[in-house]
């Protein structure tokens, strides 16, 4: 997790923006420095002053804020690679499990990730404006949608539920839960959400 992660990030943000002109060389360099400094700093605590990160990166605070308009978008950039890997394994799970179990597994994995990185939560909220398009929200909804669709066509999931609503409910469960709430608490909430989707037939 250093070289390769950055490359993934690069590729991704390059591939999804709509022809955004590339950053100037120095700007790109600064941006990466900030991300790297942030990665190191966030490893200690999620609440490091942004000024500290800027200083550590050898960059003015203004530069940091131009690249990452708020703390969340910086966090999102730092964990982009992990976020992508979490949101990408929906097909894998579907290949191995039945839809219901796949959804549970996916949610559990996501929950585990969020539990470790609670600071990311606000960035994943619907409609939160992040810096350069890293539309994590959309990817999450897409992942859920993949699994949900499979469940619908196999008859275990209701067909009248929007994946976006599931994502929202899911994140809500994280939001209204504290670090010291214990994973079993979250697990119960996730189970409730899945229960809401089941048709009851079969």
Partner DNA sequence: GAGGCAACCGGAGGTTCCTCCAGTGCACCT
Partner DNA sequence: AGGTGCACTGGAGGAACCTCCGGTTGCCTC
**Residue 157 phi, psi (nearest 5):** -105, 150
Binding partner of residue 62 among a second copy, DNA, none, CB cut-off 5 to 8 Å per kind: DNA
Binding partner of residue 126 among a second copy, DNA, none, CB cut-off 5 to 8 Å per kind: a second copy
Stretch that binds DNA, among 43-51, 102-110, 153-161, 164-172 (CB under 7 A): 43-51
Q: Per-residue contact track with DNA, 69 to 98, x per CB under 7 A?
A: xxx---------------------------
Q: Which residue lies nearer to a second copy by CB, 133 or 185? A: 185
Q: Which residue lies nearer to DNA by CB, 61 or 81? A: 61
Can residue 129 be called a binding residue for DNA (CB under 7 A)? no
Q: Give me the least distance between CB of 11 and DNA, in Å please.
A: 19
Among 58, 155, 172, 183, interactor with DNA by CB under 7 A: 58
Q: Give me the least distance between CB of 82 and DNA, in Å please.
A: 22
Tokens of 149: 């669709």
Round the CA-based radius of gyration of the chain to a whole number and report it. Answer: 18
Interaction site with a second copy (CB under 8 A): 125-127, 161-162, 165-166, 168-169, 171-178, 180-181, 185, 188-189, 192-193, 195-196, 200
Tokens of 172: 């809500």
If DSSP codes are grouped into helix, strand and coil, which group holds residue 157? strand
Q: Which residue lies nearer to a second copy by CB, 7 or 188? A: 188
Torsion angle in degrees (nearest 10) through CA of 123, 129, 135, 139:
60
Binding partner of residue 95 among a second copy, DNA, none, CB cut-off 5 to 8 Å per kind: none
> How many degrees, rounded to 5, is the angle at CA 25 between CA 20 and CA 28?
65
Give whole-number Cα distances, 84 to 90, 92, 138, 155, in Å. Answer: 11, 14, 11, 29
Show the DSSP H helices in the chain as ranges.
3-16, 25-44, 50-56, 61-67, 71-78, 80-88, 90-96, 99-116, 121-124, 136-153, 163-175, 183-197
Q: Give me the least distance between CB of 161 and a second copy, in Å please.
A: 7
Which residues are at the interface with DNA (CB under 7 A)? Answer: 23-27, 30-31, 47, 49-51, 58-63, 65-67, 69-71
């Amino acid at each position: 997790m250093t070289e390769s992660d950055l490359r993934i990030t690069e590729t991704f943000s390059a591939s999804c923006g709509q022809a955004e002109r590339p950053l100037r060389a120095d700007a790109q360099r600064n941006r990466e420095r900030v991300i790297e400094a942030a990665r190191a700093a966030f490893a200690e605590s999620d609440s490091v002053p942004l000024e500290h990160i800027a200083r550590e990166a050898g960059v003015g605070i203004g530069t940091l804020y131009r690249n990452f308009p708020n703390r969340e978008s910086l966090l999102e950039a730092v964990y982009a690679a992990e976020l992508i890997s979490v949101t990408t394994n929906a097909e894998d799970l579907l290949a191995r499990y039945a839809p219901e179990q796949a959804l549970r597994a996916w949610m559990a994995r996501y929950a585990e990730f969020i539990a470790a990185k609670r600071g990311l939560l606000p960035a994943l909220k619907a409609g939160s404006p992040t810096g350069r398009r890293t539309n994590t929200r959309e990817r999450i909804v897409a992942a859920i949608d993949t699994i949900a669709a499979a469940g619908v066509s196999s008859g275990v999931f209701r067909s009248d539920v929007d994946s976006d609503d599931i994502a929202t409910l899911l994140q809500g469960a994280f939001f209204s839960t504290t670090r010291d709430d214990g994973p079993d608490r979250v697990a119960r909430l996730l189970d409730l959400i899945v229960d809401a989707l089941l048709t009851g037939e079969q």
